[in-house]
């Protein structure tokens, strides 16, 4: 076992454990419990059973004939939108809740942006009989009222966060404050591949089921690996989950799509990898939107789930090593992607996913007609329909 | 300078009063006046808080003061300029999150020393987290003050004490900064557990606001840190904050009388 508090779980220069001393023993405890659980067949048996019979895994791989025609290459959709609760978030929330129960922690804390992670966490807490407290920015509560109601229906307490930008960044800060106060009895289920070690690798490993299934399904259905894997990146958990099993396939290109908001030069975007610089936020060193004084900029995206000024440290590493490429798409382009997939395939994607859809749609000519593209449909768009219809968008 | 101050206090049988104030709060002018007033009221050490946009270890009072200071344009450089202007006779410890220090560049520790800072305390850089950056802070011109939490096991307390300089900051209770009605009953035991493996002076902070708390802790610790209570009072007036410091000073000294 490693020495207390000494962190070797870095991704190149990124990651680490930059937290108040109070949390160091809790993170040590979590790391030990995680490794014990991962080595325990009983843990996997219970998790796999719930993933199959409760979440509905494996999620399908859908072909997309009309969208493919538009793109000029076969596009395959990994359907995380068909999971119970409508997004990939439940993969990690479920596994972490089982882990918390193993650790004897019966109170769960979570932060949420779009509400998908909050809903997933409230769901698994109801299933396992755990207390659930979700921190959510006031602005996001307004944007995602239905998800707030869903969480409350399942017995969770939703705490409005009124500090700062009243979005995901401040909800995360508030959740950490709760955890500093309650760590002996609470587990903090972080929603993305962010936060102090061991969170980024833990969430990645619990989300990697997306990529493992998709890799197998591509070989079965398309008869080959994809030329390019595409996913949206806010914190980056669906992207890390689908990328990870392909990292050693050198011929497979990995592309993460960030939110360019009103445009990269507008000062109102969430493209941390494209425009940020390395810095420390929420326990990890990673690319960060910050000013010259190290103060964190408020991010902006039309999609609450991408509205975050940081990004998972492993993405920073994949960027710096060149293994993955990161691009960005504006709010307006994302709205077009949102409508496009609905019109062409009968699948309304989450606004987060719509960024990845829009990027693929913009790249006609990039791929040969026999080069398959794999898109992670990280979530369904039902939660966004009200917001988009208010904007008068999507129906032309 | 921190060591000399604590040695002198020990020789007199007195306890240290460490006062925290956020740089630039309630505004830059009054910030300087507040620090000078705290020194005059008998503070032994001044902790200068560096405003940060995402203070995850701080409660509502210090968060709000940080936001106010940022709105006045005070960041790390601004904090150093204010320290320089204040020309204090007591040691100054910079209390910061890691990111503003990293953004300020490698020579920031030298610039801080030149401005009149003697120590540095980093909320989110625990012992063992980052060898290179800990060495940068530990081997520079400032005393690198380390923190111990109520969750820290004793073998790790020993490790932290070995890495610390100046004094050890013991966090009194779980949670973020802010005033508490009551301090944990096991606090004297925690201090004793730390004392058994630590030769540095021990100052206890988080939640301390009232003279009777100061008096009680003076029996066990080498000093107390008062933060949110001072900041809250400073939000009313500099005089109110200085009066509180004077009252706490009196309570600490009564103990020895």
- The class (CATH top level) of A20-51+89-203 is alpha beta
Of B77, B129, B151, which is closest to A18 when you measure between CB atoms? B129
Cα B113 from Cα B144, distance rounded (Å):
12
Cα A311 from Cα A287, distance rounded (Å):
6
Q: Is B196 exposed, middle or buried (0-12, 13-18, 19+ CB in 10 A)?
A: exposed
Cβ-Cβ contacts under 8 Å for B162 (sequence gap 6 or more)? none
Residue B64: Cβ within 10 Å count: 17
A89 is catalytic: yes
Chain A positions touching B54 (Cβ under 8 A) are 164, 169-170, 173, 281-282, 296
Share of chain B above pLDDT 70, in %: 99
- Catalytic residue (choose from A62, A192, A378, A383): A378
Cα A75 from Cα A67, distance rounded (Å):
7
Tokens found for residue A52: 């199959």
What are the Cα distances from residue A271, in Å, to A258, A297, B99?
5, 11, 19
User: What's the confidence (pLDDT) of residue A163?
Assistant: 83
Q: Quick one: average pLDDT of A92-101?
A: 98
pLDDT at B255 over 90: no
Q: What is the mean pLDDT of chain A?
A: 95
Same topology, domains A20-51+89-203 and A56-87+208-390? Answer is yes
Tokens found for residue A216: 């197998």
Nearest CA in chain A to B68: A164
With an 8 Å Cβ cutoff, are A24 and B151 in contact?
yes
- Decide: A204 and A193 in contact? Cβ < 8 Å: yes
Chain B positions touching A185 (Cβ under 8 A) are none
Residue B31: phi and psi, rounded to 5, are -60, -45
- Decide: A44 and A98 in contact? Cβ < 8 Å: no
Helix (H, G, I), strand (E, B) or coil at A304: helix
Angle subtended by helix axes B238-256 and B28-40, to nearest 10: 20
A residues 25-44 near B, CB within 8 Å? Answer: 25-26
- Decide: A112 and A148 in contact? Cβ < 8 Å: no
Q: Quick one: average pLDDT of B82-102?
A: 98
Cβ-Cβ contacts under 8 Å for B187 (sequence gap 6 or more)? B172, B173, B204, B217, B220
Q: Quick one: average pLDDT of A85-112?
A: 97
Going by C-alpha positions, the residue among A379, A386, A390, A392 that lies closest to residue A112 is: A379
Of B52, B159, B175, which is closest to A181 when you measure between CB atoms? B175
The residues on B that touch A, with CB distances below 8 Å, are 51-57, 59, 63, 67, 70, 75-77, 97-104, 123-130, 147-153, 155-156, 159-160, 171, 174-176
Measured in whole angstroms, how far is the alpha carbon of residue A286 from the centre of its chain?
16
**Tens digit of each residue's pLDDT (9 = 90 or more) over A129-188:** 999 999 999 988 988 888 999 999 999 999 999 988 888 999 999 999 999 999 999 999
With an 8 Å Cβ cutoff, are B101 and A294 in contact?
yes
pLDDT band at A8 (very low <50, low <70, confident <90, very high): low
Going by C-alpha positions, the residue among A366, A363, A291 that lies closest to residue A333 is: A363
Q: Quick one: average pLDDT of A44-60?
A: 98
pLDDT at A10 over 70: yes
pLDDT band at A7 (very low <50, low <70, confident <90, very high): low
- Decide: A31 and A86 in contact? Cβ < 8 Å: no
Which of B149, B152, B162 is the best substitution to test chain A (most A C-beta atoms within 10 A)? B149
Chain B positions touching A279 (Cβ under 8 A) are 99, 102-103
Of B99, B104, B156, which is closest to A5 when you measure between CB atoms? B156
pLDDT at B239 over 60: yes
pLDDT band at A6 (very low <50, low <70, confident <90, very high): very low
DSSP letter for B181, please.
S
Chain B positions touching A290 (Cβ under 8 A) are 99, 103
Q: Quick one: average pLDDT of B145-161?
A: 97
Dihedral-angle region of residue A282 (phi above 0 means left; psi in -120 to 50 means alpha; beta otherwise): left
Q: Is A350 exposed, middle or buried (0-12, 13-18, 19+ CB in 10 A)?
A: buried
Q: Is B51 exposed, middle or buried (0-12, 13-18, 19+ CB in 10 A)?
A: buried
Cα B123 from Cα B202, distance rounded (Å):
17
Tokens 């005070």 identify what position?
A: B74
Please name each of the domains of chain B with its CATH number.
2-256 (3.20.20.70)
Q: What is the mean pLDDT of chain B?
A: 96
Strands (E), B66-221: 92-96, 119-122, 143-148, 168-171, 202-205
User: What's the confidence (pLDDT) of residue A149?
Assistant: 95
Residue A113: Cβ within 10 Å count: 30
A78 is catalytic: no
Chain B positions touching A18 (Cβ under 8 A) are 98, 124-125, 129-130
User: What's the confidence (pLDDT) of residue A167?
Assistant: 87
Chain A positions touching B125 (Cβ under 8 A) are 18
**Tens digit of each residue's pLDDT (9 = 90 or more) over B117-133:** 999 999 999 999 999 99
Tokens found for residue A126: 């109801």
Q: What is the ipTM of this complex?
A: 0.96
pLDDT band at A3 (very low <50, low <70, confident <90, very high): very low
With an 8 Å Cβ cutoff, are B52 and A17 in contact?
no
Cα A17 from Cα A28, distance rounded (Å):
10
Cα A74 from Cα A60, distance rounded (Å):
16
Residue A146: Cβ within 10 Å count: 14
Asked if A4 reaches chain B (Cβ–Cβ under 8 Å), the answer is yes
- Decide: A273 and A232 in contact? Cβ < 8 Å: no
Helix (H, G, I), strand (E, B) or coil at A79: strand
**Tens digit of each residue's pLDDT (9 = 90 or more) over B25-82:** 999 999 999 999 999 999 999 999 999 999 999 999 999 999 999 999 999 999 999 9
A10-11 β-sheet, strand order: A10-11, A14-15, A284-288, A277-281
pLDDT band at B15 (very low <50, low <70, confident <90, very high): very high
Cα A95 from Cα B224, distance rounded (Å):
43
User: What's the confidence (pLDDT) of residue A54?
Assistant: 98
Instruction: Quote the minimal CA–CA distance from B60 to chain A in Å.
Output: 9
Residue A153: Cβ within 10 Å count: 11
Angle subtended by helix axes A116-128 and A89-102, to nearest 10: 40
CATH number of A56-87+208-390: 3.40.50.1100
Cα B165 from Cα A373, distance rounded (Å):
56
Tell me the HSE value of A94 on the side-chain side, using a 13 A CA sphere: 27
**Tens digit of each residue's pLDDT (9 = 90 or more) over A301-347:** 999 889 999 999 999 999 999 999 999 999 999 999 999 999 999 99
Angle subtended by helix axes B154-163 and B187-195, to nearest 10: 60
User: What's the confidence (pLDDT) of residue A1?
Assistant: 35
pLDDT at B257 over 50: no
Going by C-alpha positions, the residue among B184, B155, B158, B154 that lies closest to residue B171 is: B184
- Please give the model's pTM, rounded to 2 decimal places: 0.96
pLDDT band at A2 (very low <50, low <70, confident <90, very high): very low
Chain A positions touching B100 (Cβ under 8 A) are 293-295
Overall residue count recorded for chain B in this entry: 257
A378 is catalytic: yes
Instruction: Quote the minimal CA–CA distance from A172 to chain B in Å.
Output: 9
- Catalytic residue (choose from B44, B58, B134, B253): B58
Q: Parse chain A into domains and list their residue ranges.
A: 20-51+89-203, 56-87+208-390
Of A176, A184, A295, which is closest to B53 when you measure between CB atoms? A295
Tokens 């620090």 identify what position?
A: B35
pLDDT band at A394 (very low <50, low <70, confident <90, very high): low
What are the Cα distances from residue A93, in Å, to A55, A206, A280, B4?
11, 9, 24, 52
Residue B11: phi and psi, rounded to 5, are -60, -35
Instruction: Quote the minimal CA–CA distance from B246 to chain A in Å.
Output: 30
């Amino acid at each position: 076992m490693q020495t207390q508090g000494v962190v070797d779980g870095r991704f190149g220069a990124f990651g680490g454990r930059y937290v108040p001393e109070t949390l160091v023993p809790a993170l040590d405890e979590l790391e030990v419990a995680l490794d014990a659980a991962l080595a325990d067949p009983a843990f996997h048996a219970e998790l796999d059973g719930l993933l199959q019979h409760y979440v509905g895994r494996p999620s399908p791989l859908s072909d997309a004939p009309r969208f493919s025609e538009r793109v000029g290459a076969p596009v395959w959709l990994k359907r995380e939108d068909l999971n119970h609760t409508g997004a990939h978030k439940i993969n990690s929330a479920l596994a972490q809740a089982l882990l918390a129960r193993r650790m004897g922690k019966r109170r769960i804390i979570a932060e949420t942006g779009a509400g998908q992670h909050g809903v997933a966490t409230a769901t698994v807490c109801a299933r396992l009989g755990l207390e659930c407290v979700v921190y959510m920015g006031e602005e996001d509560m307004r944007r995602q009222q239905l998800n707030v109601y869903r969480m409350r229906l399942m017995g969770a307490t939703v705490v409005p966060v009124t500090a700062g930008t009243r979005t995901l960044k401040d909800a995360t800060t508030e959740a950490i404050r709760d955890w500093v106060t309650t760590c002996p009895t609470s587990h903090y289920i972080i929603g993305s591949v962010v936060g102090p070690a061991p969170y980024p690798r833990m969430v990645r490993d619990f989300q990697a089921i997306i990529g493992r299934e998709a890799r197998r399904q591509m070989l079965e259905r398309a008869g080959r690996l994809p030329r390019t894997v595409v996913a949206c990146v806010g914190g980056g958990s669906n992207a890390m989950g689908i990328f990870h099993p392909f990292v050693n396939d050198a011929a497979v290109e990995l592309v993460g799509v960030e939110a360019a908001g009103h445009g990269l030069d507008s000062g109102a975007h969430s493209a941390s990898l494209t425009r940020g610089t390395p810095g420390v936020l929420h326990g990890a060193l990673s690319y960060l939107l910050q000013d010259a004084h190290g103060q964190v900029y408020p991010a902006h995206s039309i999609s609450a789930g991408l509205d975050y000024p940081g990004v998972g440290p492993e993405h920073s590493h994949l960027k710096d090593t060149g293994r993955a490429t990161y691009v960005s798409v504006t709010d307006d382009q994302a709205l077009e992607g949102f409508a496009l997939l609905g019109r062409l395939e009968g699948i309304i994607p989450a606004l987060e996913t719509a960024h990845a859809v829009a990027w693929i749609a913009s790249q006609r000519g990039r791929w040969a007609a026999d080069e398959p593209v794999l898109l992670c449909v990280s979530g369904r768009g039902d939660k966004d329909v009200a917001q988009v219809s208010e904007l008068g968008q999507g129906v032309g | 300078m921190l060591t000399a101050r604590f040695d002198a206090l020990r020789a007199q049988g007195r306890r240290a009063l460490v006062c925290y104030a956020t740089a630039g709060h309630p505004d830059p002018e009054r910030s300087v006046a507040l620090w000078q007033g705290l020194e005059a009221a008998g503070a032994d050490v001044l902790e200068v808080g560096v405003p940060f946009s995402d203070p995850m270890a701080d409660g509502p009072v210090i968060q709000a003061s940080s936001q106010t200071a940022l709105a006045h344009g005070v960041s790390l450089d601004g904090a150093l300029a204010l320290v320089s202007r204040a020309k204090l006779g007591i040691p100054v410890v910079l209390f910061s999150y890691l990111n503003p220090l990293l953004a300020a560049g490698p020579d920031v520790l030298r610039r801080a020393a030149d401005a009149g800072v003697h120590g540095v305390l980093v909320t989110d850089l625990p012992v063992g987290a980052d060898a290179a950056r800990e060495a940068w802070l530990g081997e520079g011109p400032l005393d690198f003050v380390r923190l111990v939490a109520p969750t820290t096991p004793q073998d790790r307390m020993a490790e932290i004490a070995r890495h610390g300089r100046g004094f050890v900051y013991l966090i009194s209770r779980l949670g973020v900064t802010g005033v508490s009605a009551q301090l944990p009953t096991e606090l004297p035991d925690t201090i004793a557990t730390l004392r058994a493996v630590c030769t540095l002076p021990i100052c206890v902070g988080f939640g301390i606001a009232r003279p009777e708390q100061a008096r009680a802790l003076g029996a066990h610790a080498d000093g107390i840190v008062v933060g949110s209570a001072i900041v809250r009072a400073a939000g009313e007036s500099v005089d109110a904050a200085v009066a509180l410091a004077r009252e706490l000073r009196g309570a600490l000294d009564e103990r020895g009388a």
